[in-house]
Amino acid sequence: MTTPGKPTAAALTSSTTGREREFHFTSTDFDQVRKLIYDHAGISLAPIKQDMVYSRLARRLRALDLDSFQNYLSYLQSGDNEQEWETFVNSLTTNLTSFFREAHHFDILLKHLQGIKHRPIRIWCSAASTGEEPYSLAMTACEAFNTLNPPVEIVASDIDTSVLATAQKGVYPMERVSKLDTNRLRSFFLKGSGAQAGYARIRPELQKMLSFTRINLLDARLGVQGPFDALFCRNVMIYFDKPTQYAILKKFVPLLRDDGLLFAGHSESFLHAADLFHGLGRTVYERADRKERSQPMYHR
């Protein structure tokens, strides 16, 4: 007798189209993957992610010439295998992003930056992915100060090293930047020619504002120094359970300035951490222990 809602081994062995899979993939294999990614990266994989897990990790079995998931999972956990752990995490993380995604946040950030006078400004983008978000932050800083050399430093991090490598290059197909307005395209990108035709490169002035580094938000020591005037952690917490979210948010508190802002994704809420962060509306938060509490200024 099977538990209602729990996929059987037979169900996991076949794809959603009914065709037999290349590799045997049981519910035990899937549960083991879920435990490993949770323990290593804090990511809570839902049961409906079984097909995604199979398709992404099957590539690793082929690349390593392994014939079963059990052999792969044994290989992953054998000895000093840091590189494969990195690839394992990279394979199971989703990196959906775009320039100026959730545009209202950048309007709020622009006003926040303009209110800071006569000192260097620091921003942390904790889920940089392929770079669209941190470069959008850099563009916003340039617009706030009307210069390509604003007094702003941006730390761009991610757990996935492969997307960070893309971000560091700062080169994008034209279709990725086509939705930006003409002024931003002219001001912040260089159009490729010859072998680079059909691509656009971020201007070097913006790249100099960014430093890229791998950070696992579960690490006890995050390896990043505060204080920050703004911290973007958007569409990341949805992969963590509430206790893990709380633990990460607790680490964020001392990294933010007293008047710093924390930006979350549109589907994320930190009501369970009200002792740490106070909501200002539209998924923008300030420290709950701020000496002078702000009034809500952004309508949901």
Are residues 72 and 118 located together in one domain of the fold? no
- Whole-number pLDDT of residue 16: 40
- Mean pLDDT for 53-63 is 90
**Above 80 in pLDDT, residue 78?**
yes
Are residues 39 and 127 located together in one domain of the fold? no
Q: For residue 1, tell me if it sits in a domain.
A: no
What are 52's two structure tokens? 């995604």
- Whole-number pLDDT of residue 12: 40
- Whole-number pLDDT of residue 296: 56
Q: What does the pLDDT look like over 177-236, one tens digit per residue? A: 988 999 999 999 999 888 888 899 999 999 999 999 999 998 888 999 999 999 999 988
Instruction: Output DSSP code: residue 14.
Output: B
Report the chain's C-alpha Rg in angstroms.
Answer: 21
Q: For residue 98, tell me if it sits in a domain.
A: no
- Whole-number pLDDT of residue 256: 97
Q: What's the mean pLDDT when you consider all of the chain?
A: 87
- Mean pLDDT for 145-159 is 96
Q: Read off the pLDDT band of 139 (50, 70, 90).
A: very high
Q: For residue 216, tell me if it sits in a domain.
A: yes
Question: Any idea how long the chain is?
Answer: 300
- Whole-number pLDDT of residue 72: 93
CA distance 238 to 245: 9
CA distance 244 to 239: 10
214 as an active site residue: the answer is no
258 as an active site residue: the answer is no
User: Which element (helix H / strand E) includes 262?
Assistant: strand 256-263
Q: Which among 21, 31, 56, 259 is annotated as catalytic?
A: 56
Q: What does the pLDDT look like over 250-269, one tens digit per residue? A: 999 999 999 999 999 888 88
Q: Read off the pLDDT band of 35 (50, 70, 90).
A: very high
Helices within the chain (DSSP H only): 9-13, 27-41, 50-64, 69-76, 82-92, 104-114, 132-145, 161-169, 174-177, 182-188, 204-207, 242-252
Domain boundary, last residue among 46, 72, 92: 92
Q: Which among 29, 158, 160, 229 is annotated as catalytic?
A: 158
Q: For residue 109, tell me if it sits in a domain.
A: yes
Chain centroid to Cα 162, Å, comes to: 12
Q: Read off the pLDDT band of 90 (50, 70, 90).
A: confident
Q: Which amino acid is at 198?
A: G
CATH code for the domain of 159 = 3.40.50.150
CATH code for the domain of 24 = 1.10.155.10
- Mean pLDDT for 53-61 is 90
Q: Read off the pLDDT band of 95 (50, 70, 90).
A: low
Q: 255: Cβ–Cβ under 8 A, 6 or more apart, which residues?
A: 124, 222, 224, 226, 227, 228, 231
**Above 70 in pLDDT, residue 17?**
no
- Whole-number pLDDT of residue 293: 61
Q: What does the pLDDT look like over 194-209, one tens digit per residue? A: 888 889 999 999 999 9
- Whole-number pLDDT of residue 247: 95
Q: 264: Cβ–Cβ under 8 A, 6 or more apart, which residues?
A: 233, 234, 237, 270, 283, 284, 285
Domain count, the chain: 2
Are residues 219 and 81 located together in one domain of the fold? no
Q: Read off the pLDDT band of 14 (50, 70, 90).
A: very low
Residue 151: give the domain boundaries: 104-171+202-287
pTM (whole model) above 0.85: no
Backbone angles phi, psi at 166, to 5 degrees: -65, -45
Domain boundary, last residue among 68, 92, 116: 92
